[in-house]
A and B are shown apart, each in its own frame.
Chain A
Amino acid sequence: MNKPLPNDYSAWPDANGRFGEFGGRYVAETLMPLVLDLDAAYAAAKADEGFKAELGSLRTHYIGRPSALYFAERLTEVYGGAKIYLKREELNHTGSHKINNAVGQILLARRMGKTRIIAETGAGQHGVATATVCARFGLPCVVYMGATDVERQKPNVFRMNLLGAEVRPVTSGTATLKDAMNEAMRDWVTNVADTYYLIGTAAGPHPYPAMVRDFQAVIGQETKEQILAAEGRLPDAVVACIGGGSNAIGMFHPFLTDDGVRLIGVEAAGHGIETGAHAASLTGGRPGVLHGNRTYLLQSDDGQILDAHSISAGLDYPGIGPEHSFLHDVGRAEYISATDQEALAAFQQCAELEGIIPALEPAHALARLPEIAREVGKHGVVVLLMSGRGDKDVNAVAEHLGRRI
């Protein structure tokens, strides 16, 4: 049927939710009818003017869009290469890009008549975004969060509680994001009649990767308009960090057919790729099946999923959204990595030079910026996606710097 042209990278997924060989719907039979329903409901909503109007209004008045595209003069000066712009998703309501997706999906859940919302969260940003929209629309909310992450992201746990959500610490497996996702899937399969699973990244069974991407693509669409207005041209490169890949794909997707724009994703290299303690699925993993989709995964020779490691809870995931696996294999996007230490240094430098405290996640993208700016060179333009603010990370960073607060 509607197989996209091989070189039109923006036309995927196909009707089966495939991005090339990646993606799909690898879920238990109990969930299969629900996933198909969701696909149909999302297709209908996407085509509905009322849905678009409601989403547009919430984006403007609740999230505070469009987010600024800011010329980072001092970073530009220090790196001595391309002009650097920051796409300021950290200025959104709740402090990250995660709210873009949460607002879109809560509207869909309401249209579908669902009365209970569940979510998984790593850094807690998606949990906070979900708890926020649930409060806004008066729906009960349960957030699964790895017990390890509950410890390192305490402020966000409290925020979710303030917003009326129940945070359930997950102790199974390795007690991080992947286990939180397992537990959310188990909840969904148990509460099929009333529950909507609001996945926080561009991964999971189809239609989630495409749907989350569409809700996040507002980032790239605005960036395109804003950079044309500011510079009269498209950027030479856009750079974003990669956890599950939702902020990055939101930026990349509107640029996929603009051949001159390099798309650069930065994975978390943890203690270093060579140590094995990292979260770089594309750099250090191979294709497999987890959480409903075929994608690159960190895994053993026997096909067991390995623990990821990153200083940043939001990047600490052994998989990646399937569209990134596709863009990696066809060579349209480039994927590099930054270590914990590099991210920490970039975190501090951005705070000191620009007066912006980034989240640890985009600090990974910031860490690779000096090389990219120099590669692109003096007359070029680079846009970095500042996916979230660092308030949630100040305790963890203080600890790493040996400071007590």
Chain B
Amino acid sequence: MTTARIDARFAALKAQGRAGFVAYVMAGDPDAETALAILRGLPGAGADLIEVGFPFSDPMAEGPPVQRAAQRGLKAGMTLKGTLELIRRFREGDAETPVILMGYLNPLDTWGLEPFARAAAEAGVDGLIIVDCPPEEAGPLVAALEAADLSLIRLATPTTDDKRLPAVVKGTSGFVYYVSVAGVTGVKEADAAAVAPAVARVKAASGLPVAVGFGIKTPERAAEVARVADAVVVGSALVDEVAAGLEMNEDVTTRVLNKAAALAKGVRGAREGRKDGDG
């Protein structure tokens, strides 16, 4: 399976001796055009990879910030088809930044896994994270994505023990997403000290780069995690900027991109002054 864009990006990060910054935004939040402007601005603000959430009515693993973002997206009429259209338009101006779709199985299932996978690949998607599709249920999804040269990014969590980890990362590509807290997005804070050994464990089991997310909200925390992980994912703190922008009647795109730039700075500066490379 080719995961060219993702592999190239992690190779470049490694060469630069730094962790990547992964920005999560919700498609259609607060509307399709603003979401596109945000997407277009993210690489310039320092995002090395972009995760695009597609809204679902019942996001069981999300805390309030992403729940509200999904509600705003749905209210603005965003769909899975609309999400791919957004990415297609983003790709007109950016051929390098990997784009990972993140969401829940039912919208894909409704579309049909194979036609969806073809459409996603055509739009310029590189990989998918499907929160409610554990390895035990992923057979049909993996087959459909592989046929379209897309990766299914797997999630490892604090409850994934050594017995289970090999099954979780088996046959995976691109990178592994380590969920740093047992909980929903955007509530508990990640404990950087506990993250380091977990990242090492997942790396050893998968042989892939490890991105860490859930519970990273500030540039400081992002920097801490960036010292021990290959990439740092921030979502809730970015979608909260959309909410704040709407509430205060400020330019949403500027707010989100400013926040992204601050987080990216934290990640990029994390290993400066340390001579021991990326470990």
Let me know if B60 and A182 touch, CB within 8 A: yes
Let me know if A189 and B184 touch, CB within 8 A: yes
Q: Which of A21-67 contact B (CB under 8 A)?
A: 24-34
Query: Is B131's beta carbon under 8 Å from chain A?
Result: yes
Query: Roughly how many angstroms separate A339 CA and B58 CA in the complex, as a whole number?
Result: 26
* Nearest-Cβ distance from residue B77 to partner chain A, whole angstroms: 10
Let me know if A24 and B110 touch, CB within 8 A: no
Q: How many interface residues does A have (CB within 8 Å)? A: 35
Binds A, one of B14-22, B40-48, B155-163: B155-163
Query: Is B79's beta carbon under 8 Å from chain A?
Result: yes
Residue of B nearest to A186 (CB): B184
Interface SS of A by simple majority: mixed
Known: A190-B183, A299-B110. A29 touches B105 (CB 8 A): no
Known: A186-B61, A302-B81, A304-B107. A28 touches B131 (CB 8 A): yes
Let me know if B168 and A29 touch, CB within 8 A: yes
Binds B, one of A228-236, A283-291, A346-354, A385-393: A283-291
Let me know if A33 and B160 touch, CB within 8 A: yes
Residue of B nearest to A24 (CB): B137
User: Which residues of A sit under 8 angstroms from B57, Cβ to Cβ?
Assistant: 173, 304-306
Q: How does the 8 Å CB contact mask read for A293-317 relative to B, with 1 for contact and 0 for none?
A: 0000101011111100000000000
User: Which residues of B sit under 8 angstroms from A25, Cβ to Cβ?
Assistant: 134, 136-137
Known: A26-B137, A27-B132, A28-B132. A33 touches B159 (CB 8 A): yes
User: Which residues of A sit under 8 angstroms from B183, Cβ to Cβ?
Assistant: 30, 186, 189-190
Listed residue (B108, B111, B183) with the most chain A CB atoms within 10 angstroms of its CB: B183
Let me know if B110 and A186 touch, CB within 8 A: no
Query: Roughly how many angstroms separate A31 CA and B133 CA in the complex, as a whole number?
Result: 11
Let me know if B137 and A29 touch, CB within 8 A: no
Query: Is A384's beta carbon under 8 Å from chain B?
Result: no
Query: Is A278's beta carbon under 8 Å from chain B?
Result: no
Query: Is A185's beta carbon under 8 Å from chain B?
Result: yes
Q: What are 23 A-B interface contacts by the 8 Å CB criterion?
A: A24-B136, A25-B136, A28-B60, A29-B159, A29-B160, A29-B168, A30-B61, A30-B183, A33-B161, A178-B58, A179-B58, A182-B58, A190-B182, A190-B188, A192-B182, A288-B110, A289-B105, A289-B106, A289-B132, A301-B110, A303-B56, A303-B80, A304-B55
Q: List the interface of chain B (C-beta within 8 A of A).
A: 55-64, 67, 71, 74, 79-81, 104-111, 131-134, 136-137, 154-161, 164, 168, 179, 182-184, 187-188
Lowest 9 CB-CB distances: which A-B pairs, in order? A303-B110, A303-B107, A190-B183, A30-B157, A302-B79, A304-B57, A303-B106, A29-B155, A305-B57
